[in-house]
A and B are shown apart, each in its own frame.
Chain A
Amino acid sequence: MKKTILGVLFLATATLASCGPATSVEESLPTDSEGNVVFENVAITYGNPITGSDGIAMRELVRRFNQEYEGQINVTESFISETEYYESLLMTIPMKRSYDIALVHSYKVSSFANKNLLHPIQSIIDDANIDLKAEDYISSVYDAMYYQDALYGIPLDIHTIILYYNKTLLNQYELEVPTNRAELIAAAKMMPNTSSGGYGLPLSTTWPSEYIYTTALYQNGGSEIDEEGNPNYANAVGAEALKMVTDIVHTHHISPENVSVDSDLMLFNQGKAMFHINGDWMINSVVENGVDFGVTSLSKMFTDDADGATADSVAARSHCFVLPEGRNVAIKQQAAMVFAKYVTEHAYLWAEGGGHVPASNVARATEEYLALPYHHDYGDVDDFVLSPSSPYYYEAFSPVFSRVTTALSDSGYDAMSLLTAAEAEGNQLVEEAKAS
């Protein structure tokens, strides 16, 4: 009996030990004659929040990688919806039970790194002698992967909002594709702007209004936060940016009032809207609906000063690969970097399936990417601007979102009053976040 109990205890201990968190291992890794790490049946786990139609492309990328690296590295992918995904990362990383590699949005990098949830990756790339360097990526996107001078991510893509236009309606009114705000509004005004006749540019009051307002802020020379990470929009530039957005509804009347989220997309898909603003990630959805459409950049569309230094800027975000802290097994981390390099360089598949622009210069130079019909009209990749790096970015900037919605719904809004209230709220949230 005693032996049985001891046996059970031993088994339980062994099981628990094997389930325990991975510890940092300073092992000497097997290398070939050129100093490259040799991988032999290294299994890594990979988590992402890609559950939509773009998930098909991600699954395919993982499958191809596993096929190409058979016997060397095997990636097991897990994916859940975005909200649950980020909550699970926040729960599992401190417990050291997260994925070996994870895909996150760029604006999360600094806040995660600030809480020591991410592992710096430059030394891993160097140790494994992986040919993964900044020059091979869009420089502004790669720069956004740094927090306090340490590199935490490898960018997969850049995604932004674009202007969709209905080719049939443009031809009907003998119009050219607009290249600035004046042309956009003039073209949109050609539509009857009635529910039966269709609208120029229906604009949802809720989404993607935060992207649109941020774009307007950039194009008018503003920024969401200052150098200390505090809110920086309750000023003349912030008010001008808000006017540029809301004038579409209240002054130019090229959008109906109080458009719900996705109603604007539905009107475009029904052929009842000449223009539509949405993310590049909606491109395949619009293709499926059969509208004869084109896309163009939103540069100069939210400023009257088309020659302004930042008039071409458009707000963007990026998906990037990061290494959750706690999974510090060197061979797995290096295998994860090999995987990140592979996926970013083969991201033409991701571009096709998800509508995004690959961050890798290699991927953007492939024949497959160059053959895609819409991506090259999104605009110059150097015009896409990622949010400034701050662990308190969300706290500082998110209070403005509901105020933009209010301004889009209420023609009598007081811009400074709304922005001042948002900034006051943002300041308190930042102060509280710094103390937490």
Chain B
Amino acid sequence: MAKKFLNPEQKKRRYLANAKRYAVIGAFLLPYIILFATFFIYPFFYGIYISFFRWNVFDTASSTFVGFENYQKALFGIGDITIWREYFWLGLKNTLIFVLISVPLLILVPLIIAILIDIQPRGYKAFRVIFFLPTVLSISAIGIIWKWQFDTNNGFINGIINLFGGESVSWLNTQPGAWIAILVTTVWWTIGTNTVILGAGLKEVDKQLYEAAELDGCNYFQVLRHISLPAISNQMIICTITTVIASFNIYGQPALLTGGGPERSTTVLMMFIRGQLTGTNAQPGLAAAMAILMGLLIIMVSIGQLIYNRRAVNR
């Protein structure tokens, strides 16, 4: 096609028209860009920046550059100062314990509920709302509710156990009671979101596939295994990754239910990080280094999961 030549006047008009168009687009995008840069980009890089400093909150100008010292402190300790290393590895161990025990349940339980709702029994819409309701509550409310349910002397759960002649269990002060309490609370609080995502996936499955499978003589569980679950594999990947990330970031449940006890066995890494951010002798640089190390771990786990899930889907 022959190239169309424009005279200077036409070029100028076209230039102005384009400029106007981009100005309008820019005007719409600008608030988002400003907010994104202010509340995401800037804090993200600022966090990385201060992790290389012995940061002085009260006089930032007197903060001293320490290179990778904060990372070294968290991972290995420096000289006689081993306390940060102990905090970091203990916190990470406790966080991993929670991730390992919570993620399977936080996928499995919502999946079962989503499957049951997908059958559409009578009143299924009400059940869907009921299962989602706890999700809208704040962690403070959840903490208060479940702290009293698990209370040793006045709690509802021990009340039930006592009713059947059992001995009271010290849920919040001993192990494994403390982890069980945190796990039950987390499952009750968070299953709503995954239930909705997986339920939406199940709803999209072509019903003709079910009918065809039925005609081929498949029973219900075979249909589930060979049709339903493969059909919602994308939703499963999303749920698994987001649940793993959320579980790594656990803070509120142990902070409110057990205070990190007994004997710091439920003090997760976020609690140690938070501890370094408060008080007159706070060490934000060290806290930032610990948070970045945890972030790197979450990224690695998530990528690993993504690769594994993709391969599993393609097989």
Contacts and interface: CB of A to CB of B under 8 A. Distances in A.
Interface in A155-205: 195, 202, 205
Contacts of B259: 206
Given A87-B278, A392-B281, A263 B173 contact: no
A111 B281 contact: yes
Nearest to A436: B281
A263 B6 CA distance: 85
B280 A195 contact: no
Contact of A395 (B80, B153, B281): B281
A260 B152 CA distance: 7
Interface centre among A111, A263, A431, A433 (most CB of B within 10 A): A263
A178 to B, nearest CB: 23
A395 B172 CA distance: 26
B281 A267 contact: no
A258 B174 contact: yes
Nearest to A89: B280
Contacts of A256: 152-153
Contact of A263 (B152, B263, B283): B152
9 contacts: A90-B278, A90-B280, A94-B58, A111-B279, A115-B280, A257-B170, A263-B153, A391-B281, A402-B263
A86 interface: yes
B234 interface: no
A429 interface: yes
A395 B56 CA distance: 17
Contacts of B174: 258, 409
Contacts of B134: none
Interface in A383-429: 391-392, 394-395, 402, 405-406, 409, 425, 428-429
B152 A258 contact: yes
A267 B153 CA distance: 8
A362 interface: no
B152 A259 contact: yes
Given A115-B58, A195-B168, A409 B173 contact: yes
Nearest to B55: A436
B57 interface: yes
B263 A406 contact: yes
A428 B82 contact: yes
Given A87-B278, A258-B174, A260-B173, A116 B153 contact: no
Contacts, number: 95
A122 B262 CA distance: 46
Given A94-B58, A94-B59, A432 B172 contact: no
B264 A436 contact: no
Query: Ordered nearest first, which 10 A-B pairs have the shortest CB separation?
Result: A258-B170, A433-B281, A258-B173, A428-B83, A111-B280, A94-B58, A263-B153, A115-B280, A406-B263, A260-B151
Nearest to B267: A402
A112 interface: yes
Interface residues of B, number: 32
A18 B111 CA distance: 58
Q: What range describes how many residues of A lie at the interface?
A: 35 or more
Given A94-B59, A405-B262, A117 B153 contact: no
A259 B153 contact: yes
A260 B58 contact: no
A108 B282 CA distance: 14
A282 interface: no
Interface string B54-90: 1011110000000000000000000011110000000
A37 to B, nearest CB: 31
Interface in B106-155: 147, 151-154
A87 B153 CA distance: 35
Given A86-B278, A90-B280, A436 B56 contact: yes
Contact of B54 (A108, A112, A260, A436): A436
A432 B83 contact: yes
A114 interface: yes
A309 B259 CA distance: 36
Interface in A255-308: 256-260, 263, 266-267
Contacts of B47: none
A91 B173 CA distance: 35
B261 interface: yes
Contact of B262 (A195, A406, A435): A406
A260 B172 contact: yes
Contacts of B173: 205, 258, 260, 409
A428 B173 CA distance: 27
Given A83-B278, A258-B152, 10 more contacts: A86-B278, A90-B278, A90-B282, A111-B280, A206-B261, A259-B152, A409-B174, A432-B81, A432-B83, A432-B283
Contacts of B154: 263, 266-267
Interface in A105-137: 108, 111-112, 114-117
Contacts of B80: 428, 431
Contact of B153 (A86, A111, A195, A436): A195
A265 to B, nearest CB: 11
Interface string B154-172: 1000000010000010101
Contacts of A435: 54
The interface centre, meaning the residue of B162, B263, B280 with most chain A CB atoms within 10 A of its CB, is B280
A260 B147 contact: yes
Contacts of B151: 260, 263
Interface string B243-265: 00000000000000001111110
A436 B277 CA distance: 13
Nearest to A325: B58
A108 B279 CA distance: 9
A112 B279 CA distance: 9
Nearest to A432: B81
Contacts of B260: 402
Interface string B16-36: 000000000000000000000
